[in-house]
Amino acid sequence: ATLSEYGAYQIEYYLDEENNWALNIDELERALNESKDRCVPRGIVIINPGNPTGQVLSRENIENIIRFAEKHSLFILADEVYQENIYLPDSKFHSFKKVLMDLGSPYNHMEMASFHSASKGWHGECGSRGAYYELINIDKDVRMQVNKLISACLCSTSWGQAVMGAIINPPKEGEQSYELYKKERTDVLNRLKEKANLVSELFNSIEGFQCNTVMGAMYAFPRVDLPQRAIEHAKSKKMAPDAFYCFELLEKTGICVVPGSGFKQRPGTHHLRTTILPPINQMKDMVERFRAFHTAFLNEWK
């Protein structure tokens, strides 16, 4: 929305679905080169852990992205709001700032911004509204102008600010509330981990669905093979095929998901995004209703 407001051009790149939604540098080069007749590329936005795909970038992948950004003089905007939501034992969150600094010169002099939020993560998804951004290696005069711009905006509520303060200063070992905090955090993340595993298993058990393991964040982004007749019918209605599928799902089951076309996706593929937030019993019930709907959909449109 901000890009539209300021008349900027959005350069779209695709993640590598066959490689757990990793970010392929050759794909970034392709997207950048194809955009040069439309704009002068200025920045790159990375969401890690990912939305809508739930991937967690490896340190090597992040290093390559930073080198790519340095090569093309791109400002890095690192959306890292799900940094504590990591579910696979062999996955780990690496902050762009730390990797940037560890790489040494010239990378540790690059400009970047990172973002964190109280309304994401395990603390209160879509609940309390509060957040921060950090500017790294920004010219002092530019920083002054940014602060002037932000000062003219409305701030978060006092509650949102208090929650954000608690997030960045959690109880420390030895303090009175540490053990309870540790237990609550562990319980919430373990439940999310269980649901992350469950949702990919359940989707992969449905004919025509393929879902990568949810590595982090709070979303699954399964791919669905749609019958050709359904695709043609959707196009006759001037709808994206996966949007047609998702509206049918909503009308007939009450299940609300987001079509993959809303996020852009490789041509010829169809996806949907769903969260892993519902309680496990509701999630199992949802998938069984989903399975029944999908079977009926295939029977109708095959």
Task: Kindly write down the DSSP assignment for every residue of 140-175, as one continuous string.
Answer: HHHHHHHHHHHHTSPPPPHHHHHHHHHHHSPPPTTS
Q: Let me know: does 47 contact 15? Beta carbons within 8 Å.
A: no
Counting DSSP H helices and E strands in the chain, the numbers are 10, 9
CB atoms within 10 A of CB 68: 17
* pLDDT for the residue numbered 278: 86
Q: Where in the chain is the domain with CATH 3.40.640.10?
A: 1-168
Which DSSP helix (H) or strand (E) runs through 183? helix 178-204
Q: Let me know: does 31 contact 25? Beta carbons within 8 Å.
A: no
> What 3-state class would DSSP assign to 255?
coil
CATH node for 190-301: 3.90.1150.10
Q: What is the pTM of this model?
A: 0.91
CB atoms within 10 A of CB 209: 19
Q: Where in the chain is the domain with CATH 3.90.1150.10?
A: 190-301
Which DSSP helix (H) or strand (E) runs through 228? helix 228-236
Q: Let me know: does 82 contact 114? Beta carbons within 8 Å.
A: no
Q: Let me know: does 221 contact 54? Beta carbons within 8 Å.
A: yes
Q: Let me know: does 164 contact 131? Beta carbons within 8 Å.
A: yes
Q: Which two tokens stand for residue 268?
A: 């010829």
Question: d(Cα 44, Cα 11) in Å, to the nearest integer?
Answer: 9
Q: What is the mean pLDDT of each run of 10 residues along the chain (302 residues)?
A: 90 93 94 94 95 94 97 97 90 96 96 92 76 94 93 85 90 95 92 90 92 92 96 96 97 95 92 90 87 94 92
Q: Which two tokens stand for residue 241?
A: 């095929």
- Domain spanning 1-168, CATH class: alpha beta
* pLDDT for the residue numbered 240: 96
**Running DSSP on this structure, what letter comes out for residue 39?**
-
